[in-house]
Chains A and B, each alone.
Chain A
Amino acid sequence: MTSLTALLSKWPVIRQIRERSDGTGLEAMSDKTRAMHARIDDAQVARSICPYCGVGCGQLIFHKNGKLVSIEGDPESPISQGNLCPKGAASYQLLTHNRRETKMKYRAPRAKEWTEISVDRAMNMVADRVWESRRRTFVHKQNGNTINHTTAICHLGGATLDNEENYLIKKLFTLGLGMVCISNQARI
């Protein structure tokens, strides 16, 4: 009987009559509306930086149970003070959209489609390719001068990578392997 009363009392008309209003105010709110709150309320937050342009806006990355919940501007950043541009505002979608690649893909010579292979196997294959190409093309000396380099393996990219990643790229590729053909978006 109580449950029936409770049920009836949820009916907006009953509530309107009981609360003597016109049925367009709080009395007409559903349970769902009454329970509404920001989904980041109980999320953890990582402090981050927007990955798009060079402004360097602060971002708050809200996450719960290992899943992203929302990405917003960090109001404490002295540069962005909580704001983002449309790209920065879309960075939750950047990480969660359904066109994102999450599987390792390999295209064999002359193949018309990708095949899926394990990352470990792909890493071994890449290491083999580097090893072989480097051996075929390494030059110790040119015109009597020691040069110890290869110009037949190149690298491109890096302006959205972390400094630490770029540091490792240069360290392994140039100082370890002798690759000199290294370039990225930054020129000037």
Chain B
Amino acid sequence: MIGEGLQSTNQRKHSFVQDRVEVGFFTDPSVCIGCKACEVACKEWNQVPDDGFMWSGNSYDNTGHLGASTWRHVMFLEQDRAKGNQIAGPMSLDQDPFRWVFLSDVCKHCEEAGCLEACPTGSIVRTEVGSVLVQNDVCNGCGYCVVSCPFGVIDRRPAPLPDSGGAFKCTFCYDRQKSGLVPACAKVCPTESIVFGRLDDLRARGAERVQQLQQSGYNDAQLYDPTETSVRGIHAFFLILGEPEAYGLPPKPQIPTIYLKSAWTSAFATAIASIIATLLAFAFFS
């Protein structure tokens, strides 16, 4: 909450990594001011390069989408709908509604992560706090993870940018978290639209916020937190106004590797069986 100062979960020191507590991001567009501090703070801390100076003409969004060099992305949606009871000048009085919604997108850190399942090198791991981390010293740039992400988050970094070829995405500021610090994007957020904390606390907070908003005229407020699909829940969940499609969020995200996993398991079993058979054969013959 704004005004909590050092008590805010976005500012206070924690020991979630040591205590192996599941953490998350709760991102709330109803208080987001579209300032993009999260994008910048992320790039500054993680030393992520710029990815070009292209003006899009799409509202104030010149970032476009998440990618290898964009780990936070603020969306700007201009919609012909009302935002709660907001009076948007003559547009509200003329019954010709309009609203401008900002939402800071980020890697969802899926419970069942497509990228992680697809990674053949062991580069992608799950951390103590439940986040999904790409280890760039291990990644060989094969790109299997890129096609396996149901949200289109992870990508390989193109040349001539530094570390090109490798796959990159939000690290959940794992280095900071290990030191008891809050991820850079949440810490910087001026209106606490991004909240960092224990996943269970955040889920309760999110549910409460939706209720609060619905009571104050935001009829289309809902949580985006798919638990019923193969991703089995996400660590970075969102409050959204309207439908997920408007934000480019799949209503029912599925991990492609869910099918591969069983295939890998049987392949692995087959391989073990054949190794055993071979060893037995050696034993038998010697």
Contact = CB atoms under 8 A, between A and B. Distances in A.
Within the complex, are A and B direct neighbours (CB within 8 Å)? Answer: yes
Interface of A: 12-13, 23-26, 28-30, 32-33, 36-41, 70-73, 75-76, 78, 80-90, 92-93
Given A89-B188, A90-B44, A81 B124 contact: no
B54 to A, nearest CB: 18
Interface residues on B, range: 35 or more
B30 interface: no
Given A73-B187, A73-B188, A85 B175 contact: no
B178 A28 contact: no
B124 A24 contact: yes
**Which of A37, A41, A70, A92 has most B Cβ within 10 Å?**
A37
Given A81-B11, A82-B10, A92-B44, A29 B125 contact: yes
A84 B37 contact: yes
Given A82-B8, A89-B41, A37 B179 contact: yes
Given A73-B187, A76-B5, A26 B125 contact: yes
B40 interface: yes
Interface in B105-129: 116-117, 122, 124-128
Interface of B: 2-6, 8, 10-12, 35-37, 39-41, 44-45, 116-117, 122, 124-128, 133, 135, 137-138, 174-176, 178-179, 181, 184, 187-190
12 contacts: A25-B126, A26-B125, A28-B125, A38-B176, A72-B187, A75-B12, A78-B5, A81-B3, A81-B5, A81-B11, A84-B37, A84-B41
Contacts of B137: 30, 32-33
A38 B135 contact: no
B126 A24 contact: yes
A76 B6 contact: yes
A182 B107 CA distance: 52
B51 to A, nearest CB: 15
A92 to B, nearest CB: 5
A44 to B, nearest CB: 16
A12 B116 CA distance: 14
A32 B135 CA distance: 8
Nearest to A38: B179
Contact of B6 (A12, A70, A75, A83): A75
B124 A30 contact: no
Given A30-B135, A37-B175, A86-B37, 4 more contacts: A25-B126, A82-B10, A82-B11, A92-B44
Contacts of A40: 179, 181
A121 to B, nearest CB: 37
List 4 A-B pairs, minimum CB-CB distance, nearest first.
A38-B179, A12-B122, A75-B11, A89-B41
A61 B35 CA distance: 22
Given A30-B135, A81-B5, A89-B40, A36 B174 contact: yes
A75 B176 CA distance: 16
A36 B44 contact: no
A33 B127 CA distance: 10
Contact of A86 (B36, B128, B187): B36
B163 to A, nearest CB: 14
A23 B187 contact: no
Contacts of A28: 122, 125
